[in-house]
Amino acid sequence: MSLVDSLNKVLWKPLLHASVWATRTPARHRYAGRALERLLGGLTVSLKAAKTQADVGSVAREWQRMMPSRGMVPIVEETATTVVAEIHAVCPYRGSGNVAGCFRMMEYDRKMLETIGGELVVLRSQAEPGVSVCQVALRRKGADLSDLTPAHLRAGGTATAG
């Protein structure tokens, strides 16, 4: 295992908890969370030497490669335009009902994906009561996302970039 992978595994949980603190409210996100998530996403892209990918399947596998473990984010469905993956890591937002906080925290993944040529929509969030695995849809950057209903809207929450 490389030094980068070892550090990623050791730092994953502490950074995840810092991310939750910084994204819990819109005000924290505005002043600290968005910058923290984008910094961590950019750092991950850099440390993992991520490259822009040509198709959505390759984007999904590159995103998966940047995680501490591929098993943490298994791909469950793949078409020519969309890859559906699950996030199995236990999220500190699990069961909290703060689906908007989850949306804000996913800025980390949005930063990584925009760098490698993709976009992400959270379809189901662990923040929803009774949900133990997040489900995300990945598409190529700039693709139409209008047929995907984000969890923070479906679950009745609101999320602002603020």
CB contact at 8 A, 82 and 139: yes
pTM for this model (two decimals): 0.86
Residue ranges of domains in the chain, CATH in brackets: 3-154 (3.30.1380)
Q: What does the buried/exposed string (b/e) look like for 40-55 if buried means 16 or more CB atoms within 10 Å of the residue's CB?
A: bbeebbeebebeebee
Residue 13: per-residue pLDDT: 75
Nearest-Å Rg of the Cα atoms of the chain is: 15
162, pLDDT greater than 60:
no
Both tokens assigned to 135: 């489900």
Residue 124: per-residue pLDDT: 95
Q: How far is residue 124 CA from its own chain's centroid?
A: 12
Q: How far is residue 110 CA from its own chain's centroid?
A: 6
Integer CA distances (angstroms), 109 to 1, 18, 37, 130, 156, in order = 23, 15, 8, 23, 22
The model's pLDDT over 49-85, given as tens digits with 9 standing for 90+, comes to 999 999 999 999 999 999 888 899 999 999 999 999 9
CB contact at 8 A, 60 and 85: yes
DSSP H or E segment with residue 134 = strand 134-140
The model's pLDDT over 11-58, given as tens digits with 9 standing for 90+, comes to 767 787 788 788 888 888 888 889 999 999 999 999 899 999 999 999
The model's pLDDT over 80-138, given as tens digits with 9 standing for 90+, comes to 999 999 999 888 899 999 999 999 999 999 999 999 999 999 999 999 999 999 999 99
